[in-house]
Chain A
Amino acid sequence: MALVARAFESVSQAPRMSAATRVRVTGELARAVGAEGCCAGQVADLSANPRDLSLEDLESIHARKTGALFVAAVRGGAMAGGARDRALEALTLFARNLGLAFQITDDLLDLEGDAERMGKDTQRDAHRANFATLFGVAASRQLVEELLRAAVAALSSFGSRGAVLADLARVVRDRRS
């Protein structure tokens, strides 16, 4: 919650941002963490039967709980930079694919990661369905790769300006902790 509050604080104090843009970015953040976003995802996560989750259930929880934050972070930055609707659409695509890849990687690390290297307990979610258990390890890795390719491809219209975001996708791919 502290980080969410800090995000709003940063937007409110950001220099060289017009009032209209400030309102748009604030709305984006609020939507991501509010009743249709992070909070809704957390509620759905807590109320679901952990052993009886379908892919669609998992995706819905992820999209609101984690994915929405990825999307808000990317779109908020783009709005602050004056991006137009078509660019925002492409960036949303990037963020959605990146967020799901991040989540599946997280599930993989939880399943087979090194607790010491990760700095936290592993197999905490072994009792509940997640993407890694749903797809299997090998298929999960393949899907992470394909999701990241899709994320990078969504940046193709930005040319070299999308390079930083593309590198972010590689960070997710190479993530070990």
Chain B
Amino acid sequence: MSESAPPIGLDEARRRLRELGYLEGRVERYLFARAFEGRGGLLIPAIVLGAVSAAVAAVAAVDSAEPGFGASLLAVAVLWLHIFLASLIPAALLGGVAALWADRSRHAAGSATTVGLASAAFVFLLWIGGVWSLAREIPARALLWGVPVAAAALLTARSARGGFLARAYAHSRMLPARPRRPVFLAGAVVAILVAVAIFATRHEPAPVAPPRPSPRSGPVVVVGVDGLALDSEPAESMAGLRALLNKGRVGWWPARSGSPPEIWIDLATGVPASRHGVRALERVRPRGCPLTLRPPFGTVWYLRIVGPRLRLVSTAPVSARDRKSLTFWEVGASAGLPTLAVGWWASGPWPGAVVVSNEEILSRASDGAAADRDAMTTFLRERTDGQAIQTVYLPGPDILRGDRPKRASAIEAIQRFLENEVSRATAGPGSLVVLAADSHPMPGALGRMIVFDGPLPWSVTEVRQEEVAPSILARAGVPVAEDIAGRPAVALFGPGRLETTTVPTYGERIASLPSRSKVTDREYLERLKSLGYLN
């Protein structure tokens, strides 16, 4: 059939029909009425809801892993607010990408559903990844969080899809051809099932049978001195101490820089930070939050990088709860050998061990010298003859690195302390291990393990820092675990004094209760700042 040109063209017909109130479907009109008035603001509800969902996922992850966090409504509210505000930025960027896509999309309905599904999947990823990254055993309440997380994800998905459709419509004036189907609900159900399956696989590791020791005569005394840079100090300031330490057998390793907790927990556990879990000063405190926490997956960029730079997040002291591996005094105590540990980072109560934590020592110290004095006094007061491993960590030289006179005085005090310990070790059946490691080393500096184990000739041997913990344990008669990289440094000890048997593993550190400190986190934090940490 031939057709002459119609009186009204298609575009003209569309325009006039719109003026008459047709061809206006008003996609998601209750939420996105502005879509029909212009192109601005179409994805703003999706951006806001995306940030809300990210914050809900982060709170859910932290509450699932941090005992007592959910009991503080203030902590929950503050963390939520921080993550919400921070997430607005990446959500806006993603919204911009979605808007560009919508402007060019030829299949708005399908693309919008894809955008909605992707946004919901991202929310679930933040939740599941966050819980997985923080919790070693995932409690049932983690799944209860699935309800608000799923609700937030669904709202985000719907708003993202609606915004996308509205944007696409505003650009092309083409409306979606198909009605919506409950794909998001189905997606949420699948995500919850995935979460259940993943969480169910996450269990606290089964306790490992403790190693059976063959106790050696005399205690192993371990003195850790932070900031003792034997390679770069002026000769006159360290002459006495150098002479004293040169009487022992020296094992050395190339020093590397890191935070004091990380460096010293590496030495105490024999495993790297990736395994023992203590990194930097580890915990963070969003401004206004009464509790400290570990950043869950997806929030590190804000809680560790951007937030601290904007002074919205402060770094908080690390605690024994953050450590996943056993230190040498904890392994010894688990094996039935009484032990003493004073002043070590990330230390806390442990069955069979007398532990005076770093928190207690530093929180009552006015400076590095006072901290050392307190640690040494506490060590001498708490030590008993029956303790197979006795250890103290002295932070003074590290804290006082900018104050030469005080530092020299602190080193003199350490020298006097060590002179007594060397005398005891060389005269008695016991052994003294001095660990000199600087967490802020000069290039080419060395870490040292100096051993006084009876009347042995002086020697120098290269060792690995992973050998420190197994050496101490083997000297105390504890079999060495095969799953740590280091082996006992045989060359540094007397013949036949090291345990040679092994066990498969010491297992992971499983703390039955969160350690309760005598000082609050805030007091500890303030003291650490005044001593020069956390700056």
Contact = CB atoms under 8 A, between A and B. Distances in A.
B399 to A, nearest CB: 64
B21 A96 contact: yes
Interface string A46-59: 00000000011001
Contact of B8 (A134, A138, A151, A156): A134
A55 B21 CA distance: 13
A155 interface: yes
B16 A93 contact: no
Contacts of A159: 180, 182
A93 B17 CA distance: 13
Interface residues of A, number: 35
Most A C-beta atoms less than 10 A away, residue of B17, B28, B176: B17
A152 interface: yes
A142 B27 CA distance: 20
Interface string B229-248: 00000000000000000000
Given A149-B176, A150-B175, A160-B182, A90 B10 contact: no
Contacts of B13: 55, 134-135, 139, 143
Given A136-B3, A160-B181, A160-B182, A153 B10 contact: no
A97 B25 contact: yes
A29 interface: no
SS of B interface (majority): loop
B290 to A, nearest CB: 42
B29 to A, nearest CB: 7
A163 B180 CA distance: 9
B20 interface: yes
Nearest to A162: B179
Contacts of A79: none
Contacts of B14: 143, 146
A32 to B, nearest CB: 17
B443 interface: no
B16 to A, nearest CB: 5
A86 interface: yes
A133 interface: yes
A2 to B, nearest CB: 30
B109 to A, nearest CB: 10
Given A93-B25, A136-B5, A149-B25, A156 B180 contact: yes
Contacts of A153: 25-27, 169, 175-176
A152 B3 contact: no
A90 B180 contact: no
B193 interface: no
Nearest to A165: B179
Contact of A135 (B6, B22, B27): B6
B100 interface: no
Contact of B22 (A90, A139, A150, A162): A150
B25 A134 contact: no
A59 B180 contact: no
B7 interface: yes
Contact of B177 (A56, A134, A139, A149): A149
Interface string B153-190: 00000000010010001000011111111100000000
A151 B25 contact: yes
A151 B23 CA distance: 8
Interface in A100-146: 100, 112, 133-139, 142-143, 146
A133 B174 CA distance: 24
Contacts of A133: 6-7
Contacts of B17: 55, 59, 100, 143, 147
A90 to B, nearest CB: 7
B483 interface: no
A163 B6 contact: no
Nearest to B19: A56
Contacts of A151: 25
A147 B17 CA distance: 10
A154 interface: yes
Contacts of B6: 133-136, 139
A146 B10 CA distance: 11
B9 interface: yes
Contact of B179 (A55, A97, A112, A156): A156
B8 A56 contact: no
The 7 A-B pairs at the shortest CB distance, nearest first, are namely: A153-B25, A136-B6, A150-B25, A149-B175, A139-B10, A153-B175, A166-B179
7 contacts: A136-B5, A139-B6, A152-B175, A153-B25, A154-B29, A156-B162, A159-B182
Given A135-B13, A149-B174, 12 more contacts: A55-B13, A59-B20, A90-B26, A96-B21, A100-B17, A100-B22, A112-B1, A137-B3, A149-B177, A153-B27, A156-B179, A157-B30
